[in-house]
Amino acid sequence: MATQAQIEQIIDVALAEDLGRGDRTTELVIPQNMGGTAGIIAKEPAVVCGGEIARIAFMKVDQTLQIKVNIPDGQKAKAGEPVLLVTGRVASILKTERVALNFLSHLSGVATATSQFVEKVKGLDVKISDTRKTLPGLRLLEKYAVYAAGGQNHRPDLASGIIIKDNHLVALAARGVSIPDAIAKARAGAKGMKVEIEVQNLEQLQQAILGKPDIIMLDNMAIDDMKKAVKMVPASISLEASGGITLENVRAVAETGVDVISIGAITHSARAIDFSLSFITGRPPQA
């Protein structure tokens, strides 16, 4: 999980990108002493994520702002609900608006997509996991959004786990190294980490079983082959399905008996959720 320092670094980069040279429009037309209250409103149903990120962004721009996060990360919002209220200098609110909305829109998109897959496999003994297919610079926040929505996090970086993938095997095969030998080589230096290997067919699976890895990833396998794989693999080895997983087929994949289903689309292709920031006239709504 991301540390506070890592989260703030990501927010700092976003603020510098948008506000690094100032906000010419706001500085020219909005009086510095003008106050107000604005709400960030969900314009469609969603699983919300990023409220705390938005709060930190607002506070970095102006520590005098008063912010209330109405809907915690991982909870559902209805269309029209205010997920966050911010009171204070109008100029500060306007300067932070786009950064706060960008984080909320994207992270809520990831959380909403994750929750849809989690709901599809409800009642089955399987976990929905993310991958490293993330937007550059946003991986830690995206993985947090997956976790908040009930998903499971795969390794956050290349140093956090051992996965022997197809290109590793191709390179090793050119030197005459077999799949069991590759697993043994990884195990020798694993220092307590689990060893996972990716296979693309049942022939590779048979070789992988001989090497006794901790996890075998079934990459882009047909449902019928997944069913055969589950019967072939001993209980001591976990099975992960990955590649080509959609909302339409995820239930069928889960029903094969695999332990984990990893889905790159929940991060790299998540549709942004529509939020808007609106200033409130009169008394702010009660959450």
Is 225 in the active site?
A: no
Residues 29-45 have pLDDT tens digits of 999 899 999 999 999 99
Ligand-binding annotation for 68, yes or no, is no
CA distances to 38, 69, 265 from 75, in Å: 21, 12, 21
Q: What is the pLDDT of residue 281?
A: 59
Is 127 in the active site?
A: no
Residues 34-89 have pLDDT tens digits of 999 999 999 999 999 999 999 999 999 999 999 999 999 999 999 999 999 999 99
Average confidence score pLDDT of the chain: 95
Is 139 in the active site?
A: no
Question: What token pair was written down for 91?
Answer: 């100029």
Ligand-binding annotation for 53, yes or no, is no
Contacts of 100 (CB under 8 A, 6+ apart): 40, 53, 54, 57, 58, 84, 277
Is 198 in the active site?
A: yes
Q: Annotated catalytic residue: which of 142, 219, 240, 259?
A: 219
Q: Annotated catalytic residue: which of 12, 119, 165, 203?
A: 165
Structural domains present in the chain = 4-117+271-279 (3.90.1170.20), 119-268 (3.20.20.70)
Q: What is the pLDDT of residue 280?
A: 87
Residues 263-280 have pLDDT tens digits of 999 999 999 999 999 998
Q: What is the pLDDT of residue 147?
A: 97
Is 219 in the active site?
A: yes
| Percentage of the chain modeled with pLDDT above 70 | 97
Ligand-binding annotation for 216, yes or no, is no
Q: Annotated catalytic residue: which of 43, 60, 68, 98?
A: 98
Residues 190-211 have pLDDT tens digits of 988 999 999 999 999 999 999 9
Residue 1 has pLDDT above 80, yes or no: no
Closest CA to 108 of 154, 156, 149, 57: 149
d(CA 271, CA 163): 29
